[in-house]
Structure 1
Amino acid sequence: MNSPLDVLIADDDKEKTEELVRVLKSKLEIGVLDFSISYNSTAKKLKNSEYDLVLLDMSMPTFNPKSNKNKPTLKALAGKDIMVKLKYRAIKVPVIVVTQFDIFGRHSDAIGIEHLISDLRNNFPDNFVGCIYYNTQSNLWEKELIDMIDGVCNE
């Protein structure tokens, strides 16, 4: 990799975000490191700024919380909706989904991670790089993430 990466981390989990930052800064040369914590803030940042890479959580709230007391409603497939926006706006930024879940949605609307990966790969080939299963009990996800980023940077 020759130049620093400008990265957007779109995730509402503070601990996961901190771990992503730690791994990125320890293994890569980072230029701009930007953050969003909801579907709306992510969509706005992607519309108004350019990034070399997006690390995208699949489940996020629709809006940023107005206070620490209010728990915003979680949008199970917010990340997929962000991918739809990228495609619609013809924004061709590489996206790596980083998730702690293997099932998204509830009851009859639930979708498994393998089905989701297949769907993202088929419908968003200009953006979707892959999916990392983030697990606090292992550091395998760190190597997978760096390998995926190296693949993007060396294309």
Structure 2
Amino acid sequence: MKSIKFLIAEDQADKASDIVEIIQSRYADASFEYSVSYAGTAKKIKKNEFDIVILDMSMPNFDPKLGEKPALKALAGRDIMTKMQYRKTFIPVIVVTQFDIFGRHSDAVSIDKLGVDLKKDFPDIFAGCVYYNTQSKSWEEELIKIINEFVDE
């Protein structure tokens, strides 16, 4: 089996670490690159070839400066997939998020509705949505199940 190259687009270090740990436990030869913002993720996807992108839905617009706590862009992940589709960059994207509601007030959308919308809007890119919850192991199993759909063993 060839090495799988992942882009982990996640602004929380502990969540990124959990994701990598789960993937490495199943795919020991996997390699990883990281991004922590919308701009950084868009740049890495444009410059590199990845087998799978693990994408957080809510990220800052730009890489934060040291000590800075930037505002989050609620649907940054959707904007990344829009850019990928425009550029005809068809890499499987797995959204891993710890939120079950996105946006605010009348713009709010549930994680289930978001998954349905992403599948409809990005059929060649969106691979699935995983609800990250440290109180449960089910997110780990779901993540590996989706990755397995794209890995030749």
Q: TM-score range by the shorter chain?
A: over 0.9
Counterpart of 1:96? 94
Deviates more, 1:133-142 or 1:22-31: 22-31
Counterpart of 1:83? 81
Counterpart of 1:66? 65
Q: Is 2:111 the partner of 1:113?
A: yes
Q: Is 2:46 the partner of 1:43?
A: no
Counterpart of 1:34? 33
Q: TM-score, normalised by structure 2?
A: 0.96
Contact preservation (8 Å) 1:7, 1:30: no
How much identity, in percent, do the aligned residues show? 53
Q: TM-score, normalised by structure 1?
A: 0.95
Counterpart of 1:57? 56
Query: Per the alignment, in what secondary structure is the counterpart of residue 26 of structure 1?
Result: helix
Runs of 4+ in structure 1 displaced over 2 angstroms? 29-32
- Measured in 1, the distance between the counterparts of 2:92 and 2:106 equals 31
The residue identity in structure 2 corresponding to 1:147 is K
- Measured in 2, the distance between the counterparts of 1:144 and 1:79 equals 19
Post-superposition shift, 1:151? 1.1
Q: Is 2:123 the partner of 1:125?
A: yes
- Measured in 1, the distance between the counterparts of 2:5 and 2:122 equals 21
The residue identity in structure 2 corresponding to 1:71 is K
Structure 1 unmatched ranges of 5 or more: none
Post-superposition shift, 1:153? 1.6
Post-superposition shift, 1:114? 1.4
Query: Per the alignment, in what secondary structure is the counterpart of residue 97 of structure 1?
Result: strand
- Measured in 2, the distance between the counterparts of 1:112 and 1:131 equals 12
Distance change >3 Å, CA 85–CA 117, structure 1 → 2:
same
The residue identity in structure 2 corresponding to 1:28 is Y
Query: Per the alignment, in what secondary structure is the counterpart of residue 63 of structure 1?
Result: coil
Query: Per the alignment, in what secondary structure is the counterpart of residue 30 of structure 1?
Result: coil
- Measured in 1, the distance between the counterparts of 2:97 and 2:152 equals 24
- Measured in 1, the distance between the counterparts of 2:151 and 2:27 equals 11
Structure 2 unmatched ranges of 5 or more: none
- Measured in 2, the distance between the counterparts of 1:150 and 1:111 equals 28
Post-superposition shift, 1:115? 1.3
Post-superposition shift, 1:29? 3.6
Post-superposition shift, 1:64? 0.9
- Measured in 2, the distance between the counterparts of 1:31 and 1:146 equals 13
- Measured in 1, the distance between the counterparts of 2:109 and 2:55 equals 17
Count of paired positions? 153
Contact preservation (8 Å) 2:23, 2:30: no
Deviates more, 1:21-30 or 1:129-138: 21-30
Post-superposition shift, 1:154? 4.5
